[in-house]
Chains A and B, each alone.
Chain A
Amino acid sequence: KAGVTQTPRYLIKTRGQQVTLSCSPISGHRSVSWYQQTPGQGLQFLFEYFSETQRNKGNFPGRFSGRQFSNSRSEMNVSTLELGDSALYLCASGRGQGISETQYFGPGTRLLVL
C-alpha cells in the first residue's frame, strides 16, 4: 500500500507570494491533517479535514487555508507569504474514526521563503 505523498518536496518562494501544497493520503483514508514544523515552535497543528469538511483548526492566521476533495486528497494554501512561514509542512492521513486512530505522515514539503 502506497504511503502518504506530498508534493512538491521542496519549494522556494519570496515574501508576498502565495503557495499551494498537495497531499495524497493512503488509499481508503478519509481524514487528512496538516502540521507546520519549525526549529523554534516544533510541530504545530494547522487543520484537519474529514470527508471534505474542516473538523478542527489550529491557531494560525487566516492566510493559512486548506481544503479536501472528494477523493480525500487535500491541499493547503498560504497567501501573502512571510519569512516566518519557512518551515516543513507535514500532512498526515488516517481512517477518520476517532481519537485512537493511527496517523500516517508524509515526508513533508520544505518551504523556504526569501
Chain B
Amino acid sequence: DAKTTQPNSMESNEEEPVHLPCNHSTISGTDYIHWYRQLPSQGPEYVIHGLTSNVNNRMASLAIAEDRKSSTLILHRATLRDAAVYYCILSGQGGSEKLVFGKGTKLTVNP
C-alpha cells in the first residue's frame, strides 16, 4: 500500500486559512488522493478527493502538486468545528474501496 506522510499536529486560529500538507512520494499513476477527517467521538468523515487536478468543494480545496508526490488540503476559514484529525489516504487497489489510514494530522483551532 502506498504510504503518506503528514505532520502529527498543527494549530490554527479561528477564521484563518489552514494548509494541511501530505507527502506521498510513492504514489502510482492510478492512486486517488483522499482526505477524511475524524471529529472527536465520531467516525471518519469524507472531506475531498482528487486524482491530478486541484479540486474544490464546499468544505475545502485540494491542491495537488504537478508531480503528484504531495498535496495540500486547504480549509479557507477554520472554525472551531474543524478541530479534528485529518487523514490523507491513497487508494489504488484495483476495484477495492479499501482505505489505508496513517496517523493523520491533529488540527487544533484556537478561538
- Determine the distance from Cα of A21 to Cα of B96 in the docked complex, in whole angstroms: 22
Question: Is the contact region of chain A dominated by helix, strand, or loop, or is it mixed?
Answer: strand
Judge whether A96 and B43 touch: CB under 8 Å. Answer: no
Interface size on B, residues (CB 8 A): 26
How far, in angstroms, from A100 to B93 measured CA to CA in the complex? 10
Number of A-B residue pairs, CB cutoff 8 Å, is 68
Do the beta carbons of B91 and A105 come within 8 Å of each other?
no
| Number of A interface residues in the complex (CB < 8 A) | 27
Across-interface contacts of B43 in A (CB, < 8 A): 4, 90, 92, 105-108
Query: Which secondary structure dominates where chain B touches chain A?
Result: loop
9 closest A-B pairs by CB: A105-B43, A43-B101, A99-B91, A56-B96, A102-B46, A105-B44, A94-B97, A56-B98, A100-B32
Q: What residues make up the interface of A, taking CB atoms closer than 8 Å to B? A: 4, 31, 33, 35, 42-45, 48, 55-56, 58, 90, 92, 94, 96, 98-108
